[in-house]
């Protein structure tokens, strides 16, 4: 007989693993990756490959030579960060900037906090904001989508729909004057508009989100509460003055709204632990996003909104506890 193993119960384990969760997120991003390559061509492929390779490399380097601990680059988490970083930049970003972005994401935002599970801020978003502040010109020159089947010509750059609206309204134009310059809803749905390479196609992102909900990697709470807040808040403004505020559907479909709601705000490490907390978190992100988009200095506000809410997650976790069995809600728990 073999030696008997003795360990505490339970003696069986479900089939979930960190690796499966992380690769599940990677699979969910495949549609958006395909769309980005379709519209932004080989440049998108270049950014994707570079960002992921650099993220993996920096994680390996830091784990092996700086921390001198176990190397866990196969767990999929650095891969997710790499892809998300690529999704958050324009496809024509110079290669070295992509690499700097990966270093910031992995080195600064993840490893310096203690690695997987310990970081407070979403690593890819920290990198995005870092790049935006350091290289504002390159980070806001958006190639126009150009279906790959129509030949591999050099992309022309132009503003994003959000940029058009922001500048236009600031210059005193009205929404009806601006509408002809904007893509229509159908183009916004499939992703035929300028923007960061992973954010453009609503359909691809929603597909990925549904897959993650089906696989129980995320729940609906954060995306739904965030998007609902956006619709209600922007809807009120638009209802009051449709000439000076974009409509809610426009807000939903443009910029990083869906990418943020589905893939960034739902990052399990940096979002609240309970459903109630997640609803509040989503509400906060939605509210801040619209505030920044409409009254802030930048046309887009999703990244800032998520990072700001990331910072209050520990507080939310303290305030929102799961419903305890046998404890009436609102009743102070007495410890004897």
Query: Which residue, 151 or 334, has its beta carbon nearer to another protein?
Result: 334
Rounded-to-integer distance, Cα 44 and Cα 25, Å: 19
The residue among 310, 309, 259, 265 whose CA lies nearest residue 83 is: 259
The smaller minimum CB distance to another protein, of residues 17 and 157, is found at 17
Among 144, 215, 244, 321, interactor with another protein by CB under 8 A: 321
- Asked if residues 184 and 253 have their Cβ atoms less than 8 Å apart, the reply is no
Q: Measured from the CB atom, is 210 or 268 closer to another protein?
A: 268
Min dist CB 236 to another protein, Å, is 32
335 binds another protein (CB under 8 A): yes
Q: How far is the CB of 237 from another protein (least distance, A)?
A: 34
Stretch that binds another protein, among 27-35, 113-121, 186-194, 205-213 (CB under 8 A): 113-121
Per CB under 8 A, 14 contacts another protein: yes
Residues 214-243 that bind another protein (CB under 8 A): 216
CA angle 279-281-286, nearest 5°? 95
Sign of CA dihedral 275, 280, 282, 283: positive
CB of 105 to another protein, least distance (A): 17
118 near another protein (CB under 8 A): yes
What residues between 266 and 305 interact with another protein by CB under 8 A?
268-269, 273-274
64 near another protein, rule: CB under 8 A: no
Phi-psi region of 195 (alpha: psi -120 to 50; beta: other; left: phi over 0): left
Tokens of 198: 């992973």
Asked if residue 144 lies in contact with residue 194, where contact means CB atoms within 8 angstroms, the answer is yes
Q: Which stretch binds another protein (CB under 8 A): 8-16, 138-146, 174-182, 294-302?
A: 8-16
At residue 254's C-alpha, the angle toward residues 145 and 252, to 5°, is: 150
Among 6, 137, 149, 171, binds another protein (CB under 8 A): 6
Total Cβ atoms within 10 A of residue 128: 27
Report the residue from 9, 150, 153, 176 that binds another protein according to the rule CB under 8 A: 9
- Provide φ and ψ at 152, rounded to 5°: -95, 75
The distance of Cα 99 from the centroid of its chain, to the nearest Å, equals 19
Secondary structure of the chain: what % helix, strand, coil (to 5)? Answer: 65, 0, 35
Number of residues that bind another protein (CB under 8 A): 40
Which residue, chain included where needed, has tokens 């009806």? 176
Check: CB of residue 29 under 8 Å from CB of residue 217: no
Binding marks (x or -) toward another protein, 66..105, rule CB under 8 A? Answer: ------x--x-x----------------------------
Contact between 141 and 92 under an 8 Å Cβ cutoff? The reply is: yes
Pick one of 11, 65, 149, 240: the residue that binds another protein (CB under 8 A). 11
Interaction between residue 327 and another protein (CB under 8 A): yes
Q: Which residues would be at the binding site for another protein (CB under 8 A)?
A: 1-2, 4-14, 16-18, 20-21, 72, 75, 77, 115-118, 216, 268-269, 273-274, 321-327, 333, 335-336
């Amino acid at each position: 007989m073999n030696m008997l193993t003795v360990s505490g119960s339970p003696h069986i384990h479900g089939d979930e693993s960190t690796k499966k969760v992380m690769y599940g997120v990677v699979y969910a991003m495949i549609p958006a990756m395909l769309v980005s390559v379709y519209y932004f061509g080989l440049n998108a492929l270049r950014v994707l490959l570079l960002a992921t390779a650099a993220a993996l490399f920096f994680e390996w380097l830091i784990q092996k030579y700086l921390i001198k601990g176990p190397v866990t680059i196969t767990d999929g988490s650095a891969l997710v960060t790499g892809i998300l970083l690529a999704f958050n930049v324009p496809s024509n970003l110079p290669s070295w900037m992509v690499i700097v972005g990966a270093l910031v994401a992995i080195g600064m935002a993840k490893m310096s906090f203690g690695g997987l599970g310990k970081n407070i801020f979403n690593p890819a978003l920290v990198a995005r904001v870092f790049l935006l502040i350091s290289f504002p010109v390159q980070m806001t020159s958006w190639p126009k989508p150009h279906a790959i089947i129509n030949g591999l010509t050099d992309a022309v750059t132009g503003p994003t729909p959000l940029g058009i609206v922001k500048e236009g309204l600031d210059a005193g134009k009205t929404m009806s004057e601006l509408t002809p310059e904007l893509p229509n809803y159908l183009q916004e749905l499939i992703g035929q508009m300028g923007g960061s390479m992973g954010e453009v196609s609503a359909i691809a992102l929603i597909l990925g989100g549904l897959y993650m909900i089906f696989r129980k990697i995320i729940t609906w709470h954060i995306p739904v509460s965030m998007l609902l807040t956006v619709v209600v808040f922007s809807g009120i403004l638009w209802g009051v003055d449709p000439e000076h505020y974009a409509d809610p559907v426009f807000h939903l479909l443009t910029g990083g709204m869906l990418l943020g709601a589905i893939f960034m705000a739902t990052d399990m490490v940096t979002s609240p632990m309970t459903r109630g907390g997640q609803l509040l978190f989503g509400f906060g992100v939605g509210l801040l996003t619209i505030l920044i988009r409409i009254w802030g200095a930048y046309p887009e506000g999703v990244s800032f909104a998520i990072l700001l809410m990331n910072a209050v997650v520990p507080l939310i976790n303290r305030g929102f506890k799961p419903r305890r069995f046998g404890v009436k809600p609102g009743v102070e728990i007495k410890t004897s």
